Amino acid sequence: MTIKCVNGIDLDRSRVTQHLIGTDADGLFSRPRYQSTIVWNNGYCTVSRVTDGQEITGDEPERYGGSGAGFTPQDLLLTAVGHCLAATYIGGLSAAGIAVKSLQINVSGRVNFRAAYGLEAANPGFESIGVEVDIRTDSSPDKVKEILERLLKTAPIPDTIIRPVPLDVEISCRQAELAAEPR
C-alpha cells in the first residue's frame, strides 16, 4: 500500500482522524482536554508541563526584572497563534492537494505594560495582534488566499482569542512557614 503524503501530511491518516472526530461527537477524541501546569521556581522563572509531558521554561527579559532564561507569556501566546495557523493551513492545503514550498508566519503585537504595572487604568493585554503570512505553493495565489481565508475560521487558537471565552480562576491559598533567607 502506498501512503499518499502532501507536505509531509499522510492524507489517509488525516481522513481517518477526521472520520473519528466526526463520529465521536462529544467524546474525548473530538473535544480533547488540554492542560498545562505551571510551577514557579524563583524570580519570574516558571516551568510549564503541558498535556503530553513536554516542559517549557518561562521567564521575563532582564529589562523587566527577569533573567531572560525562558519564553515570556507574550511570546507563548503569539507562538500559539502562529503554530495553530501553520498547522491549520498546512493541513487544509495538503487536503486540497496543494504542495507548499515554504510557509512563514510572523505574529506580533504590542502590550500595554503601563496598565500591566498599574500605572494607568487600561487593558494590560495586547492592543491588537497582527499576522503576516508568506507562503509559496504550486497553486495560484488567488486559490491559496481563498483557502487560507476559509481555514482561518477553523483555527482553534485564533478563534479562542477573537471571541470572548470565560476564564474561571479558582484560588487555593494556604499559609506556609518560610525559612529565613540568608543574608
Mean per-residue pLDDT of the chain: 94
End-to-end CA distance of the chain, in Å?
Answer: 70
The answer to whether 3 and 10 have CB atoms below 8 angstroms apart is yes
pLDDT (0 to 100) of residue 121: 96
Same domain, 124 and 67: no
Same domain, 61 and 143: no
Neighbours of 59 (CB within 10 A): 21
pLDDT (0 to 100) of residue 44: 97
CA angle 48, 53, 56 (to 5 degrees): 30
Same domain, 41 and 10: no
pLDDT (0 to 100) of residue 29: 86
pLDDT (0 to 100) of residue 1: 58
Task: Say how many domains are in the chain.
Answer: 3
Structural domain contains residue 119:
yes
Same domain, 156 and 85: yes
**CATH number for 128:** 3.30.300.20
pLDDT(111) > 80: yes
Structural domain contains residue 142:
yes
Same domain, 25 and 38: no
The answer to whether 44 and 73 have CB atoms below 8 angstroms apart is no
Can you give the residue range of the structural domain that contains 150? 72-164
- Per-residue pLDDT of 118-135, as tens digits, reads 999 999 999 999 999 999
- Three-class DSSP category at 40: strand
Q: How many CA atoms lie within 13 A of 34 on its CB side?
A: 7
pLDDT(181) > 80: no
pLDDT(149) > 80: yes
For the chain, give percent helix, strand, coil, nearest 5.
Answer: 35, 25, 40
- Per-residue pLDDT of 78-105, as tens digits, reads 999 999 999 999 999 999 999 999 999 9
Rounded CA separation 180/161 (Å)? 43
pLDDT (0 to 100) of residue 179: 76
- Three-class DSSP category at 9: strand
pLDDT (0 to 100) of residue 41: 96
Phi, psi of 41 (to 5 degrees): -100, -65
Q: What is the pTM of this model?
A: 0.90
pLDDT (0 to 100) of residue 171: 96
pLDDT(69) > 80: yes
Rounded CA separation 156/134 (Å)? 21
